[in-house]
Homo-oligomer: A and B are copies of this chain.
Amino acid sequence: MDKTVRNKVNIEIPEYIEGYGKVKPYAGAFETEPTGNKFAPKIKAFKNGEEKILKTLREGIEKSGLKDGMTISFHHHLRNGDYVLNLVMKEIEKLKIKDLTIIASSLTKAHEPLLENIKNGTVTSLHTSGLRGKIAEEISRNGIMEKPVIFRSHGGRARAIESGEVKIDVAFIGAPICDTMGNMNGKEGVSAFGAIGYAMADVKYANYVIALTDNIVPFPLNDISISMDYIDSIVEVESIGDPTKIATGATRITKNPNDLLIAKKASEVLIATKKVKNGFSFQAGSGGASLAVCKYLREYMEENDIKGSFASGGITAYLVELLEANLFESLLDTQTFDGEAANSLVRNKNHIEMSASMYANPHNKGCVAHQLDLMILSCTEIDVNFNINSLTASTGVIMGAIGGAPDTAAGADITVVVAPSMRSRLPIILDKVTNVITPGDTIDVLVTERGICVNPLRGDIKKLLEEANIEIKDIRELKEEITKITKVPKSNEYEDKIIGVIEYRDGTVMDTIKQIKM
């Protein structure tokens, strides 16, 4: 048996993982400091008079020098409406290029055709923040990839690219507006998706960058988010995607009464911490009760004449409403969650676009996530040490994403997890989560409809909640209470094969995902 090591969240991981390499075990949220220098891509001179706009995507891929074994990157701002990845992979398949690594900021159900590319050896390695649907099932249950999928947070991805831990040979960027020299932004045009924050690291560190666009405009574009000096080639396509599919259930405020109850309780917790005051900053993750917290906070802010500093993260129409109602000074946006918010980015000067590195990279000279006062997160599971899972189901199947959770939880003064006490008659609190995504040391409060738990590390918060007469339960006791009602969760049986590696934002390994025994 291979040598193993126990990391800071008490998970046993091999010292070396085939298809991944040597493991640096997770050592605590801020314990692993960066070493060395940033990655340095090749210098390339664009020849005066040369044509940047190529006739076909094929020409672009050929010009890029893409060949077997190389690494390509994509960004997922168009989410379920993205056409770019599939267009590119179709062309790559025709060119019979094999053994590629894909570094995607995330993968959605729009990318299911990728399954074929994996099965036929075009793609042999995936790096992503999230994975769902058929590809996830096939990897989880049938181990169809030799190499484990590497999961990173949004900040972790920016860090891995900047540090050269991953090296991008060719980056493919979907641009809703792009001038003839490659100046672009994400917020104008029929396929506008808003902020283009994830792609900013790709263009700076990739050796070759191809912009795909359905909207070429004369040089120079006025509002430049990514500038021409990073773009090698431009390819016009019929459409880069369907922006109406960006918004999904996870990005709208819930109408579920239980979720609303949890959100209400969470807002009471936040208020009790006395952090909801003039100049406070706030982020709510997507999904379930999380976004609904804004709704209750808003009431309190209006009643008490409170104006926040900034709200950040994936930006929704609801946050724009708060901005325009003058309840926040500004929004900081790396990924926009709906068309209304994309419009706001054009219209509102205080709706600020940022790169994923500025948003959440732990190894730069300061990121927005570390400026947060309050963070609200959803989860699929939480354990008695407050470690949370948002990536795998209780069955062990991959079905979610890391997103910005570990980044914001580490950075925010107070991180509150909101979750129903049970889902499909399975308890939310466990002795051990299926996989650890965000370490318990960075999670401060759990709010369920059946009770509120405070991480014992945060006696200060406990005291404030008690002062506000908020009942607090011990997380182990709440677990027992819930487990009496629910089924006892079956423990999963796994093969030895590691099919996923969960990196913490600093590049250490938090957990591994094994293939499910069928």
B182 pairs with A366, CB closer than 8 A: yes
- Determine whether A361 belongs to the interface, using a CB cutoff of 8 Å to chain B: yes
Contact flag A229-B42 (CB < 8 Å), given A218-B279, A219-B309, A352-B220? no
Stretch at the interface among A29-37, A114-122, A489-497: A29-37
Q: Which label, helix, strand, loop or mixed, suits the secondary structure of the A interface? A: loop
Given known A-B contacts A38-B41, A227-B358, A358-B228, A365 and B46 have beta carbons under 8 A apart: yes
**Any B CB within 8 A of the CB of A354:** yes
| In the complex, residue of chain B having the shortest beta-carbon distance to the beta carbon of A29 | B48
A259 within 8 A of partner (CB): no
How many copies are assembled?
2
Contact of A222 among B46, B163, B330, B365 (CB under 8 A): B330
Pick from B45, B181, B367: contact of A362, CB below 8 A: B45
Given contacts A222-B349, A332-B220, A364-B229, contact A162 B33 (CB under 8 A): no
A357 at the interface (CB under 8 A from B): yes
CA distance A33 to B332 in the complex (A): 40
Q: Cβ of A488 < 8 Å from any Cβ of B?
A: no
Contacting pair B366 A52 (CB below 8 A): yes
Partner of A162, one of B37, B43, B182, B232: B43
- A280 interface residue (CB < 8 Å to B): no
A35 to B164, CA, bound (A): 19
Which of B40, B43, B332 is close to A363, meaning CB atoms less than 8 Å apart?
B43
Of B223, B229, B411, the residue contacting A358 (CB under 8 A) is: B229
In the complex the two chains form, what is the Cα distance from A370 to B162 in whole Å?
29
Does B40 lie within 8 Å of A364, measured CB to CB? Answer: no
Using Cβ atoms and an 8 Å threshold, which residues of chain B touch A181?
Answer: 366, 371
Task: Please give, as numbers and ranges, the residues of chain B lying within 8 Å of A309 by CB-CB distance.
Answer: 218-220
B365 near A44 with CB under 8 A, answer yes
Residues of B within 8 A of A330 (CB): 220, 222
Beta-carbon contacts under 8 Å, A155-174 to B: 162-164
Chain B residue nearest to A364 (CB atoms) is: B229
A83 within 8 Å of B (CB atoms):
no
Interchain CA distance A220-B309 in the complex, whole Å = 8
**A349 CA to B162 CA, complexed, in Å:** 31
In the bound complex, residues from chain B placing their C-beta under 8 Å from that of A411 are 48
Residue on B nearest A34 in the bound complex, by CB: B43
Task: Count residues of chain A with CB under 8 A from any CB of chain B.
Answer: 62
Q: Compute how far the CA of A231 lies from the CA of B164 in the bound complex, rounded to whole angstroms.
A: 21
List the B side residues contacting A218 at CB < 8 Å.
Answer: 279, 309, 329
The answer to whether A227 touches B43 (Cβ under 8 A) is no
Cβ of A391 within 8 Å of any chain B Cβ, yes or no, is no
Q: How far is the CA of A30 from the CA of B38 in the complex (A)?
A: 29
> Which listed residue, B43, B329, B367, touches A229 by the CB 8 Å rule?
B367
Does A39 lie at the interface of the complex (its beta carbon under 8 Å from any beta carbon of B)?
Answer: yes
Q: Contact at A43–B37, with CB atoms within 8 Å?
A: yes
| Interface status of A94 (Cβ within 8 A of chain B) | no
Of chain B, the residue at the smallest CB distance from A370 is B48
Cα distance, A302 to B438, chains bound together (Å): 63
Give 1 or 0 for each of A40-71: 1 = CB within 8 Å of chain B CB.
Answer: 11111111110010000000000000000000
Within 8 A of B (CB), among A339-389: 349-350, 352, 354-355, 357-358, 361-368, 370-371
Q: Is A224 an interface residue (CB 8 A)?
A: yes
Cβ–Cβ contact B46 & A371, under 8 A: no
Q: Is A74 an interface residue (CB 8 A)?
A: no
**A227 nearest CB neighbor, chain B only:** B358
Residues in B with CB closer than 8 Å to A364 are 43-46, 229-230
Q: How far is the CA of A21 from the CA of B452 in the complex (A)?
A: 68
Q: Is A310 an interface residue (CB 8 A)?
A: yes
Contact, CB under 8 Å: B48 / A231: no
How many angstroms between the C-alpha atoms of A329 and B219 in the bound complex? 10
CA distance A224 to B164 in the complex (A): 26
The B-contacting residues of A in range 293-338, CB under 8 angstroms, are: 309-310, 329-330, 332
A residues engaging B (CB < 8 A)?
A: 30, 33-49, 52, 162-164, 181-182, 209, 218-220, 222-224, 227-232, 279, 309-310, 329-330, 332, 349-350, 352, 354-355, 357-358, 361-368, 370-371, 410-411
What would be 10 A-B contacts, judged by CB atoms less than 8 Å apart? A34-B43, A37-B42, A46-B367, A48-B410, A181-B366, A218-B279, A223-B349, A224-B354, A228-B368, A230-B365
Beyond A48-B410, A220-B371, A231-B365, 14 additional pairs, beta carbon < 8 A:
A35-B43, A38-B42, A40-B164, A43-B163, A44-B363, A48-B370, A181-B371, A218-B309, A219-B371, A220-B330, A222-B350, A227-B358, A228-B366, A228-B368
